[in-house]
Amino acid sequence: MSIDFGKALSARETTIPGLILLDLPVHGDSRGWFKENWQREKMTASAVDLPDFGPVQNNISFNDAVGTTRGIHAEPWDKYVSVATGRIFGAWVDLREGDSFGTVFTAELDPSVAIFVPRGVGNSYQTLEPDTAYTYLVNDHWSPDATYTFLNLADETAAIAWPIPLDEVEISAKDQNHPRLADVVPMPPKRILVTGANGQLGRALRAEFGDHPWIEYATRADLDLTSPDLDAARRWRDYGTIINAAAYTKVDIAETPEGRAEAWAANVTAVAALARISTANGITLVHVSSDYVFDGSKAGAYGETDPVAPLGVYGQTKAAGDAIVSAVPRHYIVRTSWVIGEGANFVRTMASLAERGVSPRVVDDQVGRLSFTSDIAAAIRTLIHGTAPWGVYNVTSQGEPSTWFQIAREVFRLKGHDPERVTGVSTAAYFADASAPVANRPANSLLDLHAAASVGLPLGDATERLRAYLESA
């Protein structure tokens, strides 16, 4: 067997998105040879940039004869393929839904060459030397409940140029009976789970992502995130992303004994469960945070790395949830303020008061920006389908900061009513006569948007969004 010694570790892109061919350093002398077949630190570094795919199993297929031919199989997990001894001709066909469906790539592999095969790409090979040991790492265990996709080795559309004609080699009956490309059911994307699907943000996420077989919109009735059986509630390895839009948001009731327990259960206990599941299964966890994690004492806008200092129970639970999610290897924390979407909210209340002839008092000493759920949903979509680094991103609408008082007056004006009907009042005076517990609010809820802009998150102008929202309401 001839081996190409002395290569530098490097990666080459192929014609199939995500299918990466690697050159491996092999060191040899008269005694034999040695190589690092999989070295996580080196192979996930920027020079090679393989996904940190988390293998859980190592398999070896030993082949006695030249011409042994296997495949084409696409599984719902990633695979890292190499050769320990011998040499193969490998053929890979993209069997995933999308524009690259049916794309073919072929290459010879010896011990100095490996290939990373992403989920849904069909994998096959033909041995070119006797006593060939074909090895592969996978990041999931075989399951009879998983989705598999197959293609016939002799498919005319793929037209793979096998070195040894297929009619001269032994092929299993199962491989011979696999469908042609025209009859292949493509491998669907990994599933996306959206929790809190009936809330303001959940409805916006449904509008943004649409209805597809691989997207699941769950309410508490569908999936109890605090259940001790949550780990077994789904085959979590089939999920690529969880968008946690579920939260307890009753900031004042959270100050009561009953509300405190509910807030901690929804915003911390449930989040910890999702974090554990996401970490164990390589899932991207998107978590929605709040300006209430800050005390509002800063003079300028809050950045993503500013220390948290929540004033009340709701803010404390959100800060705790953020800390938990930050430990998940693949996570995005989307921090928002003053959320406006479909359902009960401040803007709808002001519009209703304007139409009913009520002249409200509105607090004028809290500053921030509105966050329209359409913007938040679009930002989340960009994050999970893009290349933004994991971490925290502030997401609100853009524009000049405003007080609730100024926003209320603008709502009155846009609805054709006299904005002077709205009068300003301090937060302390507004709640002075409250008979129930009241949460302390941050006086400054302004969030810095530079990080969001740097990764191309699409954020609309708050004034334009408010106008369009009222026109459609």
Q: What average pLDDT does this structure show over 405-411?
A: 97
How many whole angstroms from its chain centre is CA 83?
33
Go through 388-427 and write b for each residue having 16 or more CB atoms within 10 A of its CB, e for each that does not.
beeebbbbbbbbeebbbbbbbbbbbebbebeeeebebbeb
Q: Scanning the structure block, which residue is given the tokens 């928002």?
A: 336
pLDDT at 3 > cutoff 90: no
Q: Is 134 a catalytic residue?
A: no
State the pLDDT at residue 2. Answer: 63
pLDDT, tens digit, 9 for 90 and up, residues 232-248: 999 898 899 999 999 99
DSSP state of 439: P
Residue of 80, 134, 136, 332 marked active site: 136
- Is residue 116 within 8 Å of 19, Cβ to Cβ? yes
Q: Is 136 a catalytic residue?
A: yes
Domains, the chain, with CATH or none: 10-183 (2.60.120.10), 191-472 (3.40.50.720)
pLDDT, tens digit, 9 for 90 and up, residues 358-398: 999 999 999 999 999 999 999 999 999 998 999 999 999 99
- Is residue 93 within 8 Å of 140, Cβ to Cβ? no
pLDDT, tens digit, 9 for 90 and up, residues 49-90: 898 888 999 999 999 999 999 989 999 999 999 999 999 999
What's the length of the chain?
A: 473
